[in-house]
Amino acid sequence: MIENNIVPDDTKISVGFLPKKADMKAFAREMGVQYVAFTNARITDEKVKAAWLSWVGAKYEVTTLFTTIVYSASEDRYVFFNQQTVKENAAGTSSTERAFNKCCDTYFAKKLTSDVLVLK
């Protein structure tokens, strides 16, 4: 997989849940596709900050780590591995959840772009 020697099947060094190759292969076979992409999103840091212009009084800043892998069923190997962090904030009720949702929107709209998603 990969030049950095990180193997998603190794639970000692992976961050969060990453599926095993056998699961990826079975899913590809079941769906009839050649590639399976999987993204794990995990909150790694959360901070409460003063929100000076908000009636709520506090905003939550969330840092989320995204791990994306792409498995090739025809080659039976991972052909893409990428980790990126995204930081967003939100104020009000359910702020952590809303900040996390903003992180997800930012990652898929702006960070996981075609110039990053190059299969090897």
Range of the domain at 48: 21-111
Q: Is residue 120 part of a domain?
A: no
pLDDT at 30: 96
Task: Please report where in the chains the tokens 């903003």 appear, as a residue.
Answer: 102
Q: Is 72 helix (H, G, I), strand (E, B) or coil?
A: strand
78 falls within a domain = yes
Q: Is residue 46 in a domain?
A: yes
Q: Which amino acid is at 57?
A: G
Question: Is 118 a member of any domain?
Answer: no
The per-residue pLDDT for range 36-69, each reduced to its tens digit, is: 999 988 888 888 877 665 565 678 889 988 889 9
User: What predicted TM-score, i.e. pTM, was given to this entire model?
Assistant: 0.76
- Show Cβ contacts of residue 95 under 8 Å, excluding neighbours closer than 6 positions: 56, 58, 59, 60, 89
% of the chain at pLDDT higher than 70: 78
| 10 in a structural domain | no
- Whether the per-residue pLDDT at 117 is higher than 50: the answer is yes
How many independent structural domains does the chain possess? 1
Q: Is the pLDDT of residue 2 over 50?
A: no
79, part of any domain: yes
Query: Has residue 117 been placed in a domain?
Result: no
- Residue 92 has a CB neighbour count (10 Å cut-off) of 13
- Label residue 109 by pLDDT band (50, 70, 90): very high
Q: Has residue 45 been placed in a domain?
A: yes
